Amino acid sequence: MAVIVGFICAVVATPLAAVVARRLGFVDAPGRLKVQEDPVPYLGGIAVFAALAGPVAAERPLLLLPIGLALVLGLIDDHGGASAATRLILAAGVGVVAALVLPVHGFVDVLVTVALVVGMLNAINLLDGLDGLASGVSVMAAIGFAFVAEGEFRVLALALAGSLLGFLVWNRPPARIYLGDAGSYLIGTVLAMLLVASLVEGDSLAQSSGAVLFVAVPVADTAVAIVRRFRARRPLLQGDRGHIYDQLVDRGWESLAVVAVFISAQGALVALGIAIGGLAAGIAISVTAVVMVMLATFSVLTFTTPGTWKA
């Protein structure tokens, strides 16, 4: 029911959010860092939140607190933005609130939760550069967490999957609405919360290890962005058109093909992560580590060489 309710609500709420966005001026105009040819409204995050709120509230309303705060932080950025330092502090605050509603214990667990929320929040935001890309990849991640999570966290994962599938009806290429920072921050926060819950409450160490692969694609893209900007001596938080998906488009790939490859890659990693959950703990950790290292190495070596991306 969480999937069905999330899907139906998102299908209905998304075009309404687009109308509101246009009237309030939340419209993404074409520009140097924009690939669209026409202005596109970007309050899709509100529709996603509205769609998943019902099932989650029915199971455990407190889980909506950090998710709602992430949405508000994104709306601030969508409206005009805050400084990088302010954004980082506020994102860390979202992580602290997430730690308060998650089953974490001890200072180290809180630090890990804050780091994951800040990291995933930014990772999904960086991934949101092509129609349907961030939402499609996140659907795969949510499905993976739904397989391994229990109780309210399974409901959260299913609600996110259903909401994003409904949103994709309108966000698929050519997109009629974007997630905006509000949507990407919301999704990143939910995925971070699900990952923390999987690490803390997983049935086994192997299952917790495999869950890391559920977010491997956005993590790899973010790693490439960090290394590439560092090597180019550019600010790490400055936007550009050198992401993996940007480079593939610049090399002649169709945008739809790039999105399909990213979603398929995340789907394959989710399947592998679920399979790893059935292995012995030591083997599972080793396999997960090897896969992550191989993915990071391939991505960094292939997409961070100077001259392979446009300024």
**Tokens linked to 260:** 């399909």
Q: At what angle do helices 216-231 and 133-148 cross, to 10 degrees?
A: 130
Q: Is 99 contained in some domain?
A: yes
| Domains in the chain, number | 1
Across the strands, what pairs with 41? 27
| pLDDT at residue 35 tops 80 | no
What is the DSSP code (8-state) at residue 25? T
Asked whether the beta carbons of 195 and 103 are under 8 A apart, the reply is no
Question: What residues make up the domain containing 52?
Answer: 2-303
Distance CA 59, CA 234 (A): 45
- 309 part of a folded domain: no
Whether the predicted pLDDT of 156 surpasses 90: yes
**Nearest to residue 304, comparing CAs of 220, 219, 225?**
225
Residues 297 and 308: their CA atoms lie apart, in Å, by: 16
The residue ranking higher by pLDDT, 90 or 233, is 90
Structure tokens at 284: 């599972």
Highest mean pLDDT out of 154-163, 194-203, 300-309: 154-163
284 with 158: CB under 8 angstroms?
Answer: no
CA distances from 284 to 99, 191, 207 (A): 26, 21, 8
| Contact residues for 138 (Cβ-Cβ < 8 A; gap 6+) | 124, 160, 164, 187, 191
More confident residue, 229 or 87: 87
- HSE at residue 22, side-chain half, CA atoms within 13 A, is 10
In a domain, 278, yes or no: yes
Question: What pLDDT, on the 0 to 100 scale, is given for residue 196?
Answer: 95
How high is the pLDDT of residue 4?
Answer: 95
81 vs 86: CA distance, rounded Å = 10
259 domain-assigned: yes
In a domain, 311, yes or no: no
Segment 19-32 mean pLDDT: 80
pLDDT band at 310 (very low <50, low <70, confident <90, very high): low
Provide the whole-model pTM: 0.92
Asked, for residue 308, whether it belongs to a domain, the answer is no
pLDDT at residue 201 in the model: 78
- Model confidence at 232, pLDDT cuts 50, 70, 90, reads low
pLDDT above 70 (res 159): yes
Q: What percent of the chain has pLDDT over 70?
A: 91
Nearest to 51 by CA among 146, 179, 147, 149: 179
Mean pLDDT taken over the chain: 89
**Exposure of 305 by Cβ count < 10 A (0-12 exposed, 13-18 middle, 19+ buried)?**
exposed
pLDDT for the residue 138: 97
pLDDT score, position 178: 92
Which residue's entry shows tokens 């992430």?
A: 70
pLDDT digits (tens, 9 = 90+) for 89-100: 999 999 999 999
- Alpha-carbon span 72 to 62, nearest angstrom: 16
41 backbone dihedrals φ, ψ, rounded to 5°: -65, 150
